[in-house]
């Protein structure tokens, strides 16, 4: 028999993944070209050519033992130094290699930092809508995820709602900017407001509250928007990053944590996170891929591709009469369900081979998420189906 905990988890297993599997099933019946799968954030843009070149170069490095071997559990020192310098150039920060811990993707990094920080019963705050896996990651370490309700209609951070949820048990607040599933980018003003509240509450409770900035979509922004770098706004910020989206490498599981010197108990957190990375079974981020990303720090995926998808789909859906949050980042559209129960809406869409994910998966019923990181052809071919679907709802 499996554990009681896993019975629940299997029962609730990701609606996103379930829809992904359903998409493959439908494709086998109707043909892949007739199924419009907007369920999974799996980039459809190839990795930059520089990545492929870097893989060849690293594979041919003379010291194979070093390329494929163990290193410090936090990663190669040269790679960590390169990442720190890159961030300093971009953000005017002053990180050094000790602040960087290479991780098995952002999901690995989040688990490492939550293992490091949480005592059983500690609270972690997430702003709805949020990536549903945060709940499982928090539960892995006996933590409790506390939801702040959405802020309508702009889906910025609900700071008034936050005040009600902060307690002396709050250990961390997860900020996902740009946001999955809305595509909203939290503004400079929003982040300043967040920092102010957290500083006040830490004073009031006499506790340390950490921001965990989950930033896999940092580079995926449009219309010239900039994404505030949170360590500059709030000392106790730990950043989780992944190259999954920026270099289209989601399967490779490569990312990092930034644990700045300014964060409270920084040295202790750095050494504990190193141990957590090991004992959770990650051991270290994949070695060859560490060296590959270090050679590709200035590269990024073709954003214009996603931007065209974004504009085309947003325009088409709006024309069909659907109400969408205007997305400024990531590769998701968050659409208001015209039916009260958005799961019913998702089920009806599936009759048109349109695969969406219910907002309930993100703590935000009444909406659905579309991942537009698909081919442009899929976007274009889906539009007539969306029209038919919209007509069927009238």
181 touches a second copy (CB under 8 A): no
Q: Which residues contact 357 (CB under 8 A, 6 or more apart)?
A: 15, 16, 19, 38, 39, 181, 346, 368, 369, 370, 371
Of the candidate residues 209, 249, 296, 357, the single one contacting a second copy (CB under 8 A): 249
Backbone angles phi, psi at 172, to 5 degrees: -155, 155
- Is the bond leading into 129 cis (omega within 30 degrees of zero)? yes
> Minimum CB separation from a second copy for residue 344, in Å?
26
Q: Nearer to a second copy by C-beta: 179 or 287?
A: 287
284 touches a second copy (CB under 8 A): yes
121 touches a second copy (CB under 8 A): no
> Minimum CB separation from a second copy for residue 61, in Å?
10
Please give the full DSSP string across 111-157, using - where no structure is assigned: HHHHHHHPPTT-EEEEESS--THHHHHHHTTT-EEEEEPP-TTT---
CB 334 within 8 A of CB 369: yes
CB 357 within 8 A of CB 39: yes
Q: Nearer to a second copy by C-beta: 214 or 342?
A: 214
> Minimum CB separation from a second copy for residue 252, in Å?
5
Element of type H or E holding 299? none
Return the residues of window 136-175 that contact a second copy according to CB under 8 A. Answer: 136-137, 140-141
81 touches a second copy (CB under 8 A): no
Whole-angstrom distance, CA of residue 199 vs CA of residue 209: 8
312 touches a second copy (CB under 8 A): no
Q: Which residues contact 163 (CB under 8 A, 6 or more apart)?
A: 197, 201
Of the candidate residues 228, 286, 329, 365, the single one contacting a second copy (CB under 8 A): 286
Of the candidate residues 144, 159, 202, 275, the single one contacting a second copy (CB under 8 A): 275
**Per CB under 8 A, which region of 184-192, 228-236, 260-268, 352-360 contacts a second copy?**
260-268
Of the candidate residues 26, 37, 79, 105, the single one contacting a second copy (CB under 8 A): 105
266 touches a second copy (CB under 8 A): no
Return the residues of window 6-35 that contact a second copy according to CB under 8 A. Answer: 6-7, 9-10, 13-14, 17, 21
Number of residues that bind a second copy (CB under 8 A): 81
Of the candidate residues 23, 108, 129, 183, the single one contacting a second copy (CB under 8 A): 108
Q: Nearer to a second copy by C-beta: 35 or 317?
A: 35
Sign of the torsion formed by the C-alpha atoms of 82, 86, 88 and 89: positive
Task: Write each residue from 205 to 224 as x if it is in contact with a second copy (CB under 8 A), else as -, in one continuous string.
Answer: ---x----------------
278 touches a second copy (CB under 8 A): yes
Q: Nearer to a second copy by C-beta: 187 or 246?
A: 246
Task: Write each residue from 31 to 60 as x if it is in contact with a second copy (CB under 8 A), else as -, in one continuous string.
Answer: ---------x-xxxxxx---xx--xx--xx
Sign of the torsion formed by the C-alpha atoms of 373, 377, 381 and 383: positive
CB 388 within 8 A of CB 155: no
> Minimum CB separation from a second copy for residue 160, in Å?
29
Please give the full DSSP string across 237-286, using - where no structure is assigned: EEEEEESTTTTT-GGG--EEEE--TTSTTHHHHHHHHHHHHHHTT--SS-
CB count within 10 Å of CB 28 equals 10
288 touches a second copy (CB under 8 A): yes
Of the candidate residues 98, 235, 252, 342, the single one contacting a second copy (CB under 8 A): 252
Q: Where are the beta strands (DSSP E) in the chain?
A: 36-37, 100-103, 123-127, 144-148, 170-176, 210-214, 237-242, 255-258, 332-336, 354-355, 357-358, 367-371
279 touches a second copy (CB under 8 A): yes
Q: Where are the beta strands (DSSP E) in 13-105?
A: 36-37, 100-103
272 touches a second copy (CB under 8 A): yes
Return the residues of window 313-372 that contact a second copy according to CB under 8 A. Answer: none
**Per CB under 8 A, which region of 25-33, 278-286, 302-310, 312-320 contacts a second copy?**
278-286
CB 292 within 8 A of CB 355: no
């Amino acid at each position: 028999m499996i554990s009681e905990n896993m019975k629940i988890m299997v029962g609730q297993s990701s609606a996103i993944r379930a829809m992904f599997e359903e998409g493959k099933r439908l494709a086998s019946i109707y043909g892949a070209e007739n199924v419009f799968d907007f369920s999974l954030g799996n980039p459809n843009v190839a990795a930059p050519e520089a990545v492929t070149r870097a893989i060849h170069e690293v594979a041919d490095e003379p010291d194979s033992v070093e390329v494929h071997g163990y290193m410090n559990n936090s990663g190669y020192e040269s790679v960590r130094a390169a990442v720190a310098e890159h961030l300093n150039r971009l953000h005017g920060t002053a990180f050094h290699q000790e602040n960087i811990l290479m991780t098995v993707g952002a999901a690995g990094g989040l688990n490492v930092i939550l293992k490091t920080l949480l005592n059983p019963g500690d609270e972690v705050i997430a702003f709805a809508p949020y990536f549903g896996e945060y709940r499982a990651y928090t539960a892995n370490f006996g933590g409790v995820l506390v939801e702040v309700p959405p802020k309508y209609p702009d889906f910025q951070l609900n700071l008034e709602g936050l005040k009600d949820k902060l307690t002396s048990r709050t250990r961390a607040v997860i900020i996902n900017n740009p946001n999955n599933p809305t595509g909203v980018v939290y503004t400079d003003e929003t982040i300043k407001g967040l920092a102010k509240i957290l500083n006040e509450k830490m004073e009031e409770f006499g506790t340390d509250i950490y921001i965990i900035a989950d930033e896999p979509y940092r580079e995926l922004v449009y219309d010239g928007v900039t994404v505030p770098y949170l360590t500059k706004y709030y000392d106790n910020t730990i950043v989780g990053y992944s190259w999954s989206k920026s270099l289209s490498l989601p399967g490779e599981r490569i990312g990092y944590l930034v644990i700045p010197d300014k964060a409270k108990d920084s040295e202790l957190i750095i050494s504990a996170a190193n141990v957590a990375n090991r004992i959770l079974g990650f051991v270290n981020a994949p070695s060859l891929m560490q060296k590959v990303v270090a050679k590709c720090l200035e590269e990024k995926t073709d954003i214009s591709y996603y931007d065209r998808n974004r504009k085309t789909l947003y325009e088409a859906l709006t024309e069909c009469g659907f109400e969408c949050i205007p997305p400024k980042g990531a590769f998701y559209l968050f659409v208001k369900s015209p039916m009260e129960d958005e799961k019913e809406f998702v089920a009806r869409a599936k009759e048109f081979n349109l695969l969406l994910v219910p907002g309930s998966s993100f703590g935000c019923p009444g909406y659905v998420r579309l991942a537009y990181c698909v081919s442009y052809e899929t976007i274009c071919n889906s539009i007539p189906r969306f029209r038919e679907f919209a007509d069927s709802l009238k």
